[in-house]
Chain A
Amino acid sequence: MIQFDAVHKRFPNGTTAVHDLSLEMPEGGVTVLVGSSGCGKTTTLRMINRMVEPTSGTIQVGGKDITQQDAAELRRSIGYVIQQSGLFPHRTVLDNVATVPLLLGWGRRKARSRAAELLETVGLAADTGRRYPHQLSGGQQQRVGVARALAADPPVLLMDEPFGAVDPVVRTQLQDELLRLQQELSKTIVFVTHDIDEAVRLGDQIAIFRTGGHLVQCATPTELLARPADDFVADFLGAERGLKLLSLTSLAAVPQAPVPEGGTWTLVLDDARKPVHWASKSEPDAQIPVRPLKDTDSLLSALNESVASPTGLIARVDADGVLTGVSSRDDIHEHAGNAHTEARVAA
């Protein structure tokens, strides 16, 4: 657990970056710090590994006051991922990942074998290790950055806009990978971003900062979307915050029915009973694509699919992609409404 207690940071030029911050970042959870630029979110992150020293207040990591430890040793025990990866251009990918193990005195052989293991963990081919950072794509470099941060298996991971410099498709992939990794590793992650969608996707807890280093609200994504503390938070969450909330609720509870017989449109299945597309009886050439949804998909995708479907029905499948039934637009709407009410009441 990371604990901020009345932390204040004023820079020598007189600007206050962080104002009287008290905040708990739970162990094994992802805390996302969001806010527009200059709101103190990055300064807050950098105080955790003493890249910035607070003007007053205390910060504890795992119950220990960080100022009581040697700064370099503290940093080795905390993983750090920065934007555009900050990789060492003169070291191979493998040696980049082995940085902290080498600093900890593991010896070259052990450090490199650990590094090779991590490249696999973050989804990079083994031969990537022999290459230099400039020979990799932005997304690959970012993966190396994550592998490097994880190398010595630190309990805490600090990520400063790690996916800010990659294109949206790669960013979504990297976010998925981070969530998958986090399920395995359960690190205490502090993640800085200015992208609220990224915050909602990744965060177990989101802390919203306002210019001047004020923490405005810290809550779970559901709580935040259902009950923003003030207009600033509501504005920051955007006009579609109702829909964002639906992205957090799964489709599992929406009832399913068998595919109806008759009607103009029929759902065409392949031999393995996987949905292929909708076909029209009156116009044999007309085919409308179908994107089948699993129970783990969100109500937001269900809503989106039902709007696009010619029958208003969405195709539901099991984990293998085999059809289990369909759900109607009305049922999805009803559950979407319920999700909102429940979130408001619970929050």
Chain B
Amino acid sequence: MTIDWSWIADHTDDLTTLTVSHLQAALSAVFFGLLISLPLAVVAHRVRPLRGILLGLSNVLFTIPSIAIFVLLLPVSGLTRTTTVIGLTVYTLVVLLRNTVEGLDSVPAKTKEAAKAMGTRPLRTLLTVELPLALPVIMAGVRIATVMSISLVSVATYIGDGGLGQLFTDGFQRNFPTPVIVGVVLTLLLAVVADALLVALQYALTPWKRRRA
């Protein structure tokens, strides 16, 4: 398998566009996933009976094959970016929801009690005590969801989207390996860089976790 370097040189603009589009799809999914998971996780954390139902539901959604989700969404949102993002978002829920609930569970009871006893109201306790302390566990979920979404975007090639995934179909149909290899390398790079950035973000957001005495 040889790489046609001139093809790469000729297609830098296309590759850039595809990479940006790929990343946009993945990050949108994580963003919307968080937007949905955070409130649901708070509910699941506080209302015990709902916890099993919500976590179970996210598990069920996760087991639907990815292509099937896109097909099911076609009548609703058609062959659009929206379909891609909705599909990917559904998959992020399982990790984001579970990790956020577990993150909230991991906040020491003593700390929550201290906040209450100091006269902190519940919403402020959630925002300034519980979520910051749950952040390391939530971020672990965000990292998995991000990497997972970056790898899943390619599946949306079936509905005409798919970012770098289009390189796979292109190379496969023409029996020309270069785009496939480039697509794989760029996807991997995206995943690695995104993950590193998230690690850096977490480091910046959790100053109390540094300089362990």
Residues of A within 8 A of B (CB): 49, 51, 72-77, 80, 82, 84, 86-92, 99-100, 103, 132, 134-135, 148
Contacts and interface: CB of A to CB of B under 8 A. Distances in A.
A99 B115 CA distance: 9
B206 to A, nearest CB: 7
A84 B211 CA distance: 21
Contact of B117 (A51, A88, A92, A134): A51
A90 B133 contact: yes
26 contacts: A51-B117, A72-B119, A72-B120, A74-B119, A75-B116, A75-B117, A75-B118, A80-B118, A82-B110, A84-B110, A86-B117, A87-B111, A88-B114, A89-B108, A89-B208, A90-B132, A90-B206, A92-B208, A99-B118, A99-B120, A100-B118, A103-B124, A134-B208, A134-B213, A135-B213, A148-B118
Nearest to A74: B119
A328 to B, nearest CB: 52
Nearest to A149: B118
A82 B212 contact: no
A103 B120 contact: yes
Contacts of B114: 80, 82, 86-88
A161 to B, nearest CB: 12
Contacts of A49: 117
A89 B118 contact: no
What class of interface size applies to chain B in its complex with A? 20 to 34
B115 A73 contact: no
A89 B212 CA distance: 12
Contacts of B212: 134
B110 A86 contact: yes
Contacts of A135: 211, 213
B105 interface: no
Q: Which 10 A-B pairs have the closest CB atoms?
A: A76-B119, A86-B114, A75-B119, A135-B213, A80-B117, A132-B208, A72-B119, A90-B208, A86-B110, A90-B132
A134 B110 CA distance: 15
B113 A82 contact: yes
B135 to A, nearest CB: 8
A76 B111 CA distance: 16
Interface of B: 108, 110-111, 113-121, 124, 129, 132-133, 206-208, 211-213
Given A89-B111, A135-B213, 19 more contacts: A72-B119, A72-B121, A73-B119, A74-B119, A75-B118, A82-B117, A84-B110, A88-B111, A88-B114, A88-B115, A90-B132, A90-B206, A100-B118, A100-B119, A103-B120, A132-B211, A134-B208, A134-B212, A148-B118
Contacts of A99: 118, 120
A65 B118 CA distance: 19
B10 to A, nearest CB: 52
Contacts of A72: 119-121
Given A51-B116, A80-B118, A89 B211 contact: no
B139 to A, nearest CB: 14
Contacts of B121: 72
Nearest to A72: B119
B213 to A, nearest CB: 4
Contacts of B132: 90
A49 B110 CA distance: 16
A86 B116 contact: no
Nearest to B205: A90
A74 B114 CA distance: 14
B121 to A, nearest CB: 5
B113 to A, nearest CB: 7
Centre residue among B124, B129, B206 by max chain A CB count within 10 A: B129
Contacts of B211: 132, 135
A347 to B, nearest CB: 36
A148 B212 CA distance: 23
B63 to A, nearest CB: 36
Contacts of A77: 119
Nearest to B112: A86
Nearest to B120: A103
Nearest to A83: B110
A76 B118 contact: yes
A93 to B, nearest CB: 11
Given A88-B129, A90-B208, A103 B119 contact: yes
A86 B113 contact: yes
A149 to B, nearest CB: 9
A87 B118 CA distance: 11
A27 B26 CA distance: 63
Contacts of B111: 86-89
A317 B29 CA distance: 78
A158 to B, nearest CB: 8
B57 to A, nearest CB: 30
A92 B211 CA distance: 13
A148 B111 CA distance: 14
Nearest to B135: A90
Contacts of A84: 110
A132 B209 CA distance: 9
Nearest to A76: B119
Contacts of B117: 49, 51, 75, 80, 82, 86
